[in-house]
Structure 1
């Protein structure tokens, strides 16, 4: 593909595909060129460096978040649906959390999400400072809830790049977790992962519990 026919949008979408498969550590201009079927120099014609590319890719996936209408369903339901949409998006793109820890993520899609969050809380009656805090609090909860699954996906991506045996590493890790937990009474009393099972996806019940607790607190604050 000649560099003149290559577009910035094609590059960013290809970068997301590489990131989804290999994580931030697996993305470089040569690997991206291979994904696109072009020389790495053709990529540089459109994007300055990897950092800019990661920022652009991160903003692109924020565009996947669905924005519910709080006027139709109420602020609590809208906030809940928005939180679930962000959680699902992070689940599809595990590398985003790593990118957010090392890059300043900004762009029209992230701004679109931020503005809609503020609109939900302000329309519900929160003051502007409280709307800012509510938006940040819910997002921090969602990021925390997604951390475990994202970390496992990143770990698996690293093992694949190294050509390691994922299943064996997983069994060894679970066994080590069990050994450590056995030293502590409350952890020992709970069911530990077995050597024959893989870690479960994030517990939907736990996510619901945490989100409801936050929304209950926000509702109480709004009432006062």
Structure 2
């Protein structure tokens, strides 16, 4: 595809697809050019370099998150919708987790998300600074949950590229982890419980538990603040 028929949006979408398929470490202008049917040099007419492309792709995926209507839903429902939306988006694009560790991902997509998210916590009654902290607390939880998935995906990709038997390597790794864990009483009890595949609980339930625990804490903080504001001033009595 000649450079004059390429658009930045086409390049960014192709980069996202490549990142989804191959991961951050496999993104380069040559492989992207092949995916676009264009010379790598044509890509440089629209993006400065690979780092610039990672930032553009990283920002674009934030626009996938649906924003709840704050005039029709309560703040907790809105906060949950946005947290789940962010979790689902990151799960589709697990390369975003390592990318955020090496690049400052910011642009219209991320700003759109952040602005609406601040509106959620301001609607709840948090002051400006507390709204920032509330948003960041939930975001760190969502991102932290995605770290494990991203690490597992990267490990599986390394196995495939190494040419080793993926299933055999996974079995050996799990046996090694189990052997270590069985030396500790609480971990041993968990391992024995997890022999029943249902006992660990679905990942969605675990995410819901953690998110509700955070929102419960934020709600309790709001109630505490409101009680303090309503208390009469008895300092002069």
* TM-score, with length taken from structure 1: 0.92
What is the CA–CA distance in structure 2 between the aligned matches of 1:201 and 1:212, rounded to whole Å? 16
Question: Which is bigger in relative contact order (C-alpha 8 A, separation at least 6)?
Answer: 1
Which residue of 1 is the match for residue 119 of structure 2? 119
Which residue of 2 is the match for residue 167 of structure 1? 167
Stretches of structure 2 lacking an aligned partner (at least 5 in a row)? 226-237
Which residue of 2 is the match for residue 216 of structure 1? 216
Secondary structure at the aligned position of 2:71 is classed as helix
Q: Quick check: which has more Rg, 1 or 2? A: 2
Q: Contact between 2:2 and 2:38, CA under 8 Å: does it hold in 1?
A: yes
Stretches of structure 1 lacking an aligned partner (at least 5 in a row)? none
CA displacement, residues 45-103 of structure 1 (integer Å, 9 cap, x when unaligned)? 21111100100000111111111123212000110111000000010001000000000
Aligned pairs (5 A) from 1:95-110: 95-110=95-110
Q: Which runs of 4+ in 1 moved over 4 A?
A: none
What is the CA–CA distance in structure 1 between the aligned matches of 2:48 and 2:201, rounded to whole Å? 37
Which residue of 1 is the match for residue 152 of structure 2? 152
Q: Contact between 1:94 and 1:154, CA under 8 Å: does it hold in 2?
A: no
Q: Contact between 1:149 and 1:202, CA under 8 Å: does it hold in 2?
A: no
* TM-score, with length taken from structure 2: 0.87
CA deviation after TM superposition for structure 1 residue 124, in Å: 1.9
Which residue of 1 is the match for residue 131 of structure 2? 131
Aligned pairs (5 A) from 1:45-124: 45-124=45-124
What is the CA–CA distance in structure 2 between the aligned matches of 1:7 and 1:215, rounded to whole Å? 42
Which residue of 2 is the match for residue 13 of structure 1? 13
**1:136 and 1:124, CA in 2 relative to 1: closer, same or farther beyond 3 A?**
same
**1:36 and 1:140, CA in 2 relative to 1: closer, same or farther beyond 3 A?**
same
What is the CA–CA distance in structure 2 between the aligned matches of 1:32 and 1:164, rounded to whole Å? 27
CA deviation after TM superposition for structure 1 residue 159, in Å: 2.9
Tell me which moved more, 172-181 or 77-86.
172-181
Give me the CA root mean square deviation: 1.8
Q: Contact between 1:68 and 1:81, CA under 8 Å: does it hold in 2?
A: yes
What is the CA–CA distance in structure 2 between the aligned matches of 1:130 and 1:94, rounded to whole Å? 29
Q: Contact between 1:12 and 1:56, CA under 8 Å: does it hold in 2?
A: yes
What is the CA–CA distance in structure 2 between the aligned matches of 1:202 and 1:53, rounded to whole Å? 36
Q: Contact between 1:145 and 1:202, CA under 8 Å: does it hold in 2?
A: no
What is the CA–CA distance in structure 2 between the aligned matches of 1:68 and 1:158, rounded to whole Å? 38
Secondary structure at the aligned position of 2:38 is classed as coil
CA deviation after TM superposition for structure 1 residue 142, in Å: 0.5
Which residue of 2 is the match for residue 28 of structure 1? 28
Which residue of 2 is the match for residue 4 of structure 1? 4
Q: Contact between 2:33 and 2:39, CA under 8 Å: does it hold in 1?
A: yes
